[in-house]
Amino acid sequence: MTRFSFASGLVCLLAASSAFAQMTTGRLRVLHASPDAPGVDILVDGAKVIENLPYREYTEYLALPAGRHEIRVNVTGTSTTVLNAAPTVEAGRDYTAIAVGFAGKAPALDLMLLVDDNTLPMGNQIKVRVVHAAASAPGVDVYVTTPFETLDGKTAALSNVSFKVASGYLAVPPAMYQARVAVAGTKTIAIDSQRLVTWSGIIRTIVAVDKRDGGAPFDFVILPDRN
């Protein structure tokens, strides 16, 4: 006779609950990439969920019920809204919202909403996506090589990526890499990752950003989509 144990029943219940949650919720994270904006609070449907998020910092994924939601970005500790949006979240999908542009000048503050693909890459590869969120930078080319390899004769992995544009995911074998971002059509380096260590199955989003208050030297933020 099959015996029912509390432990096995609890495991089944948790698994069923997790599966149900995935069918009814999506996930959203937020990156603060507006160089002249102060720390911000994030409100979802009127409720504060993130407090005092500083420039170049990001949240973890937050579970949200499927459907349309009001997202407001307020100056920390105030009711002053600097950005609002009303994205629709689909069940089982992951999203990244990036606040880009300037609070006090052009290009104006805006919200990029990206759909993330956190499915495991095939064949033990890694997946990498690049986002141009540096409001002061022109269009750029992105080169990916082994560390410190010369760019002479190299073809860009991504060409002429404009502000507020995100690439698709690039699938590459796990290895030691160096990513360099150059002004489009040149080998003039604007951002240099130095050594990037990768391992099988990881997924990363690399976001190009301004220095604080805007302009060069430019830098990047690496978002861990999946470890």
* 124 and 223 assigned to the same domain: yes
Answer whether residue 2 is part of any domain.
Answer: no
* 32 and 126 assigned to the same domain: no
pLDDT of residue 23: 65
pLDDT of residue 210: 97
Answer whether residue 90 is part of any domain.
Answer: yes
* 131 and 172 assigned to the same domain: yes
pLDDT of residue 24: 86
From residue 223, give the alpha-carbon distance in Å to each of 32, 175, 207: 12, 18, 8
* 72 and 154 assigned to the same domain: no
* 71 and 124 assigned to the same domain: no
Answer whether residue 142 is part of any domain.
Answer: yes
Answer whether residue 180 is part of any domain.
Answer: yes
SS3 per residue for the chain: CCCCCHHHHHHHHHHHHHHHHHHHEEEEEEEECCCCCCCEEEEECCEEEEEEECCCCECCCEEEECEECCEEEEECCCCCEEEEECCEECCCCEEEEEEECECCCCCECEEEEEEECCCCCHHHCEEEEEEECCCCCCCEEEEEECCCCCCCCCCCCEEEECCCEECCCEEECCCEEEEEEEECCCCCEEEECCCEECCCCCEEEEEEECCCCCCCCCEEEEEEEEC
* 28 and 43 assigned to the same domain: yes
* 161 and 211 assigned to the same domain: yes
Domain containing residue 102: 11-116
Per the structure, the count of domains in the chain is 2
* 45 and 130 assigned to the same domain: no
Answer whether residue 137 is part of any domain.
Answer: yes
CATH number at 178 reads 2.60.40
Q: Consecutive 10-residue runs of the chain (227 residues): their mean pLDDT? A: 45 43 82 97 96 97 95 95 93 96 94 95 94 96 96 95 95 95 95 94 96 96 93
The residue count for the chain: 227
* 32 and 100 assigned to the same domain: yes
pLDDT of residue 22: 54
In this structure, is the dihedral angle defined by the CA atoms of residues 89, 170, 164 and 209, taken in order, positive or negative? positive
Answer whether residue 83 is part of any domain.
Answer: yes
pLDDT of residue 176: 96
